[in-house]
Structure formats: structure tokens, C-alpha cells
Chain A
Amino acid sequence: MCGIAGYFGNPDARLPARTLLQRMLGELRHRGPDGEGAYVADGAGLAHTRLSIIDLSAGAQPMSNDDETVSITFNGEIFNYVELREELIARGHRFRTASDTEVIVRLYEEMGPDCVERLNGDFAFAIWDSRRRRLMLARDRMGVRPLFYAERDGALYFASEVKALLQVPGIEAELDPIALDQIFTFWFPLAPRTVFKGVAELPPAHVLIASPGHVSVRRYWALDFPDAADARRGERDEAGIAEEVRALLIDATRIRLRSDVPVGAYLSGGLDSSIVAAIAGRLAPERLRTFSVRFDSAEFDETEFQLEMAEALGTDHSAVLCRPADIGAAFPSVIRHAERPILRTAPAPLEILSGLVRDEGFKVVLTGEGADEVFGGYDIFKEAKLRRFCARQPESLRRPLLFRRLYPYLPKLQAQSAAYLKAFFATDLDAAGDPLFSHLPRFRSTAGAKLFFSGELKRSLADYDALDELRSALPENFTRWHPLSQAQYLETAYLLPGYILSSQGDRMAMANAVEGRFPFLDHRVVEMAARIPPALKLRGLTEKHILRKAAEGLVPPRMAARPKQPYRAPDSASFFGDTSPPYVERLLAGPAVAASGLFEPRAVEKLVAKGRNGSIGGFRDNAALTGILSTQLWREAFVPGARQIDPISIISRQKVA
């Protein structure tokens, strides 16, 4: 795991190529503190900062083949490299190293860009093919590893994080208002768009080929589901399917334990990480080390279940306590790493957690990420199912009462009357044909936070509609899928790479040079799970039914039966009170808000007042506060000149005058 950067074409002449690559690497060093290298050829440059995990002595990068016609800079892991290497050797390839990097080089020699189809792993890489004068960029299927690029003055630049691109002369951070509108709707911008105007993200499962005068981007893999009409096929073979799921998960975990450094695991207290840790505990040669986050508020904390699982598995367990003040203190760093405004603080505890992992001497952790998307664990799937159920008898006041069962962990919701439950959840019942049906309530309540957008921002957005853009991006087959498959697709193809794996995943782990590995996101697991009948994933209102079956015998029965508790962290409570960090006041003060021009200062003032007296409780207000504050932090961290206006000094000067 590492950071990569480089260019194709002739870079800006103001800076020698090597100096430019060094500067880009300087911004990525947190991702790979163990070594670095640069390779400059005629027409391309590659750079790499390394976190050594496989073949510690010989895996240095950038790496070239024997005659230097193919050179690579690679971030990530190819988990099936052992099998691929054997195959390649059998076909006559000779290897100089035992690294997975060299496997990609040899595979590329044989197959060219199609080599990605053989890779089982989490990767972002660039290959310079000097004979064809062609640069290839590639990203893994699920979007675990990041890759960004930008074109300036005829050259194409790429890097693991945008901050490295900002080292290129002529590339400056400027906020893209449409990306902000998307964040305030979906929680993330729709790839390839990023919040940095003119900087693109290579979407998951895509390759980019740049040759002189021509850049093309194409998809090499897509998540697909059976037609709704076929979705019941195999429904009766529950035991057989559960067995298949279990075998595949064991294999996905087994190849994710391949590493020349020890591999630990996260334990959230929930089913998914418990399954992964249980399998890893059986396969790992030594006692498994596990890590988790604790909260001081019972509303978020899962310590009891973490300890129970650690004891059942016999792991050597450590936890880090995240108080609201810790989240507030970490938040500016979170935004510098996430490189975008976010509407929730939930990434912050994960940055604190990766710090613990690093302090304990670990570089690699397994997690349960992806199980909720792939096996149907999220509440939104149940909510959509209930909304469809209500739609069949819109007058019923009994059916909406079922929504209480969906959110047992939200005390404020339990207090709602049937009429209000209906008003909140049984919405858009006439929109059953809308491809976004499952997500309309979430998108709408998130978009409520746009209330704070300034008139100027609204004018620049004109009549832009983020939902319409998402609708038009959906695959052709989408309308033929079962409603659960449709909702799963929206989570897996969008929220997962756009937010979970990036803002909450790679960036928070790599802030402390820790690599996450996700057995549930092995594409074999993802493809197999997509074929499982929906009724076996969401049985009645029991989520991840088939996974629970597969977990029998792996984890204690109480764990296999435990309902999902979503991972959340205190939002606005982290920014106010006795421990309120000084940046909150500074960035949310009227002049600072006015200077960014994005939000309405008077409205923000009222929201802050509400935060100060501790009465921000609702979803929209928490999202708005976190979103506004993180946008302000983002500007200050990246936009040239944004820091120059210091409202406090302006105010004090005015007072003096």
C-alpha cells in the first residue's frame, strides 16, 4: 500500500520533471513512509512512495520489465498474485522478485490493458508502455484504492490523492459547485466529478488509456443482477447457498492474509467484522490482534459486543475511546485527508482507530466492510421494502407502525405517532416506478441541508438536479432488476466507493499508513451474492439472512442473531460545549462564511446558536452543520488565499477602530 503519482506527455517546463515528481510524492508520504522512487522516461514520469508489505527487500517501485519497455507504479495488493505468478512461470515468464507488482508487469506484457480482468485485488496503478507510447491507469472493481487525474497544457497528471496534483504548476484548487450540490444530496460527488474543479476521479472498475493526442476511459467490469423474474431461482436451496457463501468468504479471507507483515482485524461489535475475524483467527498462524473504537455515549458504543467477540475468538484486543472532543480535534485532519466536505463525522473515529493500529505496530487490517451492501444489511433496504408494503394500502395507519421496528436504536423515533411515522417514511409511495425509489427519503432529507446554500451558490447551480444526473447514469439493465437489487446497486456502485471506501476507508486508514483489506468485497463474493435470491438476503425484516446462516458455527449464536446497529458517531456535539475547538468559531463566524460565498451567514449563525445550546438533534441540522464546517475546512486547507481572510482579526480591528 502506497501512494502513486506521475504524468503523461510533457510536463510544465517551469519545473524539472524529477522535482515535480518529488513534490507530488511529498504530499503522499503519509501513505508510504517506507521508501520512495521516481522514474522519468521520454514522455512520461512515474513516482511511488512505499508502504512495504510484500517482498520487503525487492518490491521497490517504480518497477520495469527487463528491457524497460513496461514500467509500473502501483498502489494496492493483488491477492491472487501467487496463483497468477505460477501460471505465468508455467508459460515461460522469468521473475526477478516475489512481489505482486511484478505479476502485473508480466501479465501486462502478455495481455496489455486487459490484464486487469485477471487481477483479484485492490489496486490503483499506472503503466507506461514505452513502445506504444501509451500510459494506462487502472482502478480496482469496487473502488478500494483511489486514483485522480487532471489534464493541463497537453499533459495528463495522476495521483493517489488530489493534494499531489495541486503541486503541478497551473493546477489550483477551485470548488466545483455541482460537486457540492451532489455532496449535499448523496454525501459524495458522482465520479468522475470531484469537488476540485478540473480534477477527475478514475471511477472504480475503469481503465484510462492515454496516447499522444487521445485519452479514453472505459469500464472493464460491472455489478450485475438477475432479472426480477429470475430472482427467485434457487430460493429453496438455502443450505447449499449458505455453504457456498461460507466457502467463498473463507477463501477471500485466506488470500487477504497474504502478507510479509502481520495482519490484524477490526472488530466493530457487529456480525460482519466478527465473521472476518473469526475466519482470520482460524487461518492466521499466530493469535489474532484485533482493534476497535469505543464511544462514551451508549447511543453509539458497542464495547460490550466487541469484548464478547474478542473473548469468544481468543484475540488480543485493543480499543480506543473516541469522545466528542476527540472527534472535534481530529476533524481538520480528517478533511485534509478526505479532501472533500463530508456530512457526517463518522470518518473521524476511523482515523483515530488507524492511529491506534499504527501505534501498535500494525500496517494491515481486515475489516467487515462491504457485507451490508453485498448481502443486504442496510436499514434503507428494509425501509424501501416497508414503503412498498405501505404503498399497497396507503390508507392504513397500522402498516406505518412497522417503521418503529426498523430503527430501535433511534429513541426519538420510537416516540412518533403512527400518523407521523407515515408522514416521514411512507413517502413517495406513488414513485414506485422511480429507479431511485429506495433512496428518495434519504436523498430528500439530506438535501434539506441545502437550505443553507447562499443565493450566489443557488444561482450558479441554476436548475441543476443531482437526482436526474444519477438516474441517467444507471445501467440499462437496472429497471429489470428486483427492487432489493436496485437499492443494493445504488449502495454498492455509488455510496460504497463514493463515501464508505474513500472518506471513511482508504483515506482514514492511510492517514496513518494502514491498509484495509475487505474479504466481503472480493469480486467473486460480490458476483456470487448478486445472484442470491433477494428473499434469502432480506427475509421479512431480517437483514443479511443468508450471511447469518453462513456464519453459523463461525461466530457465537448471539452474534449471528444480533440485529444490525449502524456505525455512527456524534456529529454536532463534537463541535460545541466546553471542548469546542477554536476553528469552529473562526470558520462559522459571519465574515468567514460570507468570504466563502457558499452559505448564508445569517442562517449559519442561527444554526450555530442552536448548536451552542445543544439543541441540534435532527438529521438535517447535523448534516448541515457538519457539511458547512467541513466545506469551510476544505477551503482553508486547499484553496489558495482562503486562509488570508481571518475574521477574528477583522472583527478585532473593527472594534479597535
Chain B
Amino acid sequence: MNSAIMIRIRGFIEENFLFREDLSGLADSDSLLENGVMDSTGILELVAFLETEFSIQMSDAEIVPDNLDSIASIASYVGRKVSTALAA
């Protein structure tokens, strides 16, 4: 489950923020902020993407670096959200 999510998230980030294949060396756990991948507008783009792509709703309290600052943390956050939604 998580790996499929991870692939979609990585694809979005590479296409929209990373722009180049030779930088795909960005590890799943690398910080998007510290590596200059994401800026303040990027976060909003990312949130819009996640909400549409995975049919989830993110509250303000969830839009925090803990949930969104690496491909791995996004995938795990989305995984939790999706399974909560399914369970509900």
C-alpha cells in the first residue's frame, strides 16, 4: 500500500519540484525543505495534490513538517489518512 502511495508522491514531487532525473538521488527520508525542494508555495501545491489525488481532507493542524517534510513522511501520513477514511 505505502509503496504505491510513495511512487505517486515521488512522481508528483519529481515532476513539479525536482524537475530533473539526475537529482532523483533524493532519498525517501530526505527533508524537502532543507534540500530546497519545497518553498512556501510548494507546500500549498503539495496539499492540493494530496487532497485531490488521495481524496483526503487535511486540517490546518496536519499541515506541518512532521507530516510533509519527506517523501517517506508524506507516504506514511497519507497511508494513515486513507486507512482511517476506509475504516470510518
A412 at the A/B interface (Cβ < 8 Å)? yes
Residues of the A chain whose Cβ atoms lie less than 8 Å from the Cβ of B40: 412-413, 416, 420, 424, 618-619
Q: Choose one: A420, A603, A620; the contact of B43 (CB below 8 Å).
A: A420
Q: Interface size bucket, A side?
A: 20 to 34
Interface residues of B in 18-61 (CB under 8 A from A): 18-23, 33, 36, 39-45, 60-61
Surface stretch bound by B, among A139-147, A168-176, A349-357, A445-453: A445-453
- CB pair A618–B36 under 8 Å, yes or no, is no
Residues of the A chain whose Cβ atoms lie less than 8 Å from the Cβ of B42: 618
Interface residues of B in 54-85 (CB under 8 A from A): 60-61, 63-66, 69
CA distance A308 to B41 in the complex (A): 33
CA distance A606 to B41 in the complex (A): 17
- CB pair A600–B65 under 8 Å, yes or no, is no
- CB pair B44–A424 under 8 Å, yes or no, is no
A480 at the A/B interface (Cβ < 8 Å)? no
Q: Choose one: A455, A600, A618; the contact of B41 (CB below 8 Å).
A: A618
CA distance A617 to B38 in the complex (A): 12
- CB pair B65–A423 under 8 Å, yes or no, is yes
Cβ proximity bits A582-603 to B, threshold 8 Å, 1 near / 0 not: 0000000000000000001011
Cβ proximity bits A72-112 to B, threshold 8 Å, 1 near / 0 not: 00000000000000000000000000000000000000000
- CB pair B64–A451 under 8 Å, yes or no, is no
Residues of the B chain whose Cβ atoms lie less than 8 Å from the Cβ of A445: 36, 39
- CB pair A606–B39 under 8 Å, yes or no, is no
Q: Choose one: B15, B18, B22, B65; the contact of A420 (CB below 8 Å).
A: B65
Residues of the B chain whose Cβ atoms lie less than 8 Å from the Cβ of A602: 19-21
CA distance A618 to B60 in the complex (A): 20
Residues of the B chain whose Cβ atoms lie less than 8 Å from the Cβ of A606: 15-16, 19-20
Residues of the B chain whose Cβ atoms lie less than 8 Å from the Cβ of A600: 19-20, 22
A444 at the A/B interface (Cβ < 8 Å)? yes
Residues of the A chain whose Cβ atoms lie less than 8 Å from the Cβ of B41: 412, 617-619
B contacts with A: majority SS: helix
- CB pair A424–B39 under 8 Å, yes or no, is yes
Q: Which of B23, B44, B66 has the most CB of A within 10 A?
A: B44
Q: Interface size bucket, B side?
A: 20 to 34
Residues of the A chain whose Cβ atoms lie less than 8 Å from the Cβ of B19: 451-452, 600, 602-603, 606-607
A65 at the A/B interface (Cβ < 8 Å)? no
Q: Choose one: B18, B23, B39, B60; the contact of A417 (CB below 8 Å).
A: B60
Q: Choose one: B18, B45, B65; the contact of A617 (CB below 8 Å).
A: B45
Interface residues of A in 447-483 (CB under 8 A from B): 447-448, 451-452, 455
CA distance A600 to B39 in the complex (A): 21
Interface residues of A in 428-445 (CB under 8 A from B): 444-445
Residues of the B chain whose Cβ atoms lie less than 8 Å from the Cβ of A413: 40
Also in contact, A615 and B45, with CB within 8 A (given A420-B40, A423-B65, A451-B36): yes
A315 to chain B, nearest CB (A): 38
A560 to chain B, nearest CB (A): 31
Q: Which of A413, A416, A420 has the most CB of B within 10 A?
A: A420
A528 at the A/B interface (Cβ < 8 Å)? no
List the A residue with the shortest CB-CB distance to B67: A419
Residues of the A chain whose Cβ atoms lie less than 8 Å from the Cβ of B20: 451-452, 600, 602-603, 606
CA distance A290 to B82 in the complex (A): 59
Interface residues of A in 587-635 (CB under 8 A from B): 600, 602-603, 606-607, 610, 615, 617-620
Residues of the B chain whose Cβ atoms lie less than 8 Å from the Cβ of A229: none
Interface residues of A in 177-215 (CB under 8 A from B): none
Residues of the B chain whose Cβ atoms lie less than 8 Å from the Cβ of A298: none
A606 to chain B, nearest CB (A): 5
B72 to chain A, nearest CB (A): 17
CA distance A423 to B33 in the complex (A): 8
A656 at the A/B interface (Cβ < 8 Å)? no
A13 at the A/B interface (Cβ < 8 Å)? no
Q: Choose one: A419, A447, A603; the contact of B66 (CB below 8 Å).
A: A419
Q: Which of B21, B22, B45 has the most CB of A within 10 A?
A: B45
Q: Choose one: B16, B22, B39, B43; the contact of A448 (CB below 8 Å).
A: B39
CA distance A383 to B69 in the complex (A): 23
Residues of the A chain whose Cβ atoms lie less than 8 Å from the Cβ of B33: 423-424
CA distance A643 to B19 in the complex (A): 27
- CB pair B43–A419 under 8 Å, yes or no, is no
A657 at the A/B interface (Cβ < 8 Å)? no
Also in contact, A420 and B39, with CB within 8 A (given A452-B19, A600-B20, A602-B20): no
List the B residue with the shortest CB-CB distance to A620: B39
- CB pair A619–B63 under 8 Å, yes or no, is no
Residues of the A chain whose Cβ atoms lie less than 8 Å from the Cβ of B64: 417, 419-420
CA distance A284 to B29 in the complex (A): 65
CA distance A534 to B60 in the complex (A): 37
Residues of the B chain whose Cβ atoms lie less than 8 Å from the Cβ of A620: 36, 39
CA distance A607 to B15 in the complex (A): 9
- CB pair A610–B16 under 8 Å, yes or no, is yes
CA distance A626 to B43 in the complex (A): 21
List the A residue with the shortest CB-CB distance to B14: A606
- CB pair A415–B15 under 8 Å, yes or no, is no
List the A residue with the shortest CB-CB distance to B65: A423
CA distance A416 to B43 in the complex (A): 9
A623 to chain B, nearest CB (A): 10
Q: Choose one: A417, A444, A452, A607; the contact of B63 (CB below 8 Å).
A: A417
11 extra interchain contacts, Cβ-Cβ under 8 A, other than A451-B36, A602-B21? A416-B63, A417-B60, A420-B40, A420-B65, A423-B33, A424-B39, A445-B39, A600-B19, A606-B16, A618-B39, A620-B39
| Partner-B contacts on A (CB < 8 A) | 412-413, 415-417, 419-420, 423-424, 444-445, 447-448, 451-452, 455, 600, 602-603, 606-607, 610, 615, 617-620
| Partner-A contacts on B (CB < 8 A) | 15-16, 18-23, 33, 36, 39-45, 60-61, 63-66, 69
The 10 closest A-B pairs by CB, nearest first: A618-B41, A419-B64, A603-B19, A603-B20, A617-B41, A448-B36, A417-B63, A618-B39, A606-B19, A424-B40
Subset of 29 A-B contacts with CB under 8 Å: A412-B41, A417-B63, A417-B64, A419-B63, A420-B43, A420-B64, A420-B65, A423-B33, A423-B65, A424-B33, A424-B39, A444-B36, A451-B19, A452-B20, A602-B21, A603-B19, A603-B20, A606-B15, A606-B16, A606-B19, A606-B20, A607-B19, A617-B41, A617-B45, A618-B39, A618-B42, A619-B41, A620-B36, A620-B39
